[in-house]
Structure 1
């Protein structure tokens, strides 16, 4: 009888722990979604430094693949808007490596902007072309390619359209 009661208590303890796990996981997801949404809001408001600060403050405890991809995507855009193409390039490449399928078009587009701002027009064109293929009907990478074509100069110099290229 004592063994049965002990087994019953162990079973109840296991059930209590198991029941608490999804709630804890949901709280983590909500928190991740909240800070990522807040960082994106700062980007929309034209505050890339604030977006980067939010990412830095929430750097510990990253546990989901989707969260990592979103962090790299946001960091890529924030560094571009903050004027640091080389930092942006790193995060764009990481986002491309981690994301899958069509979702990568935005990272390829932003990589194209970063490459262009660093003076590598062929790499920018290749990134925009890949973004255009993945994006389907989304016009941003197509517009960026048209801008490169319209600004092409015979002597091969880099035209000053770096800030006109569209970041997504």
Structure 2
């Protein structure tokens, strides 16, 4: 899923843009989305959607009251995103070594009982989950490090699980 662009990004202007700069950005964005200027494999539906977003952006940013309300909403979203990032740093951190390795239906999964509600195997990670994890840079680690955030299936506890890529370039485990 691609993150949604702000109206400022849609028109290619800064938050401090003046009305003439917004008009210029609007014209430029419309021209860039013109069917003769833009090839799209997704058909005219996507093109109509692009033009609609450009028109909405211009309508909001060119009206001072609507723009002020939009800026306030945008600021609220940014603050919420920042709080979520901070929350991620406050999570209990565990390593994959602290999970029990279990074979389920011929697949290896890593399970852990919840330390809060004590539900058995309420944290489950599959190979697909681990492949989707985010890499992070830790200068103390020699191997490539990853982390994933998961929630207990029975309560609201979240864990940050750190693990390492222990496979060599040829795919064999080290």
**TM-score of the aligned structures, taking structure 2 as reference length:** 0.27
Higher strand fraction (1 or 2): 2
- Largest Rg, 1 or 2: 2
User: TM-score, normalised to structure 1's length?
Assistant: 0.28
By percentage of residues, which structure has more helix? 1
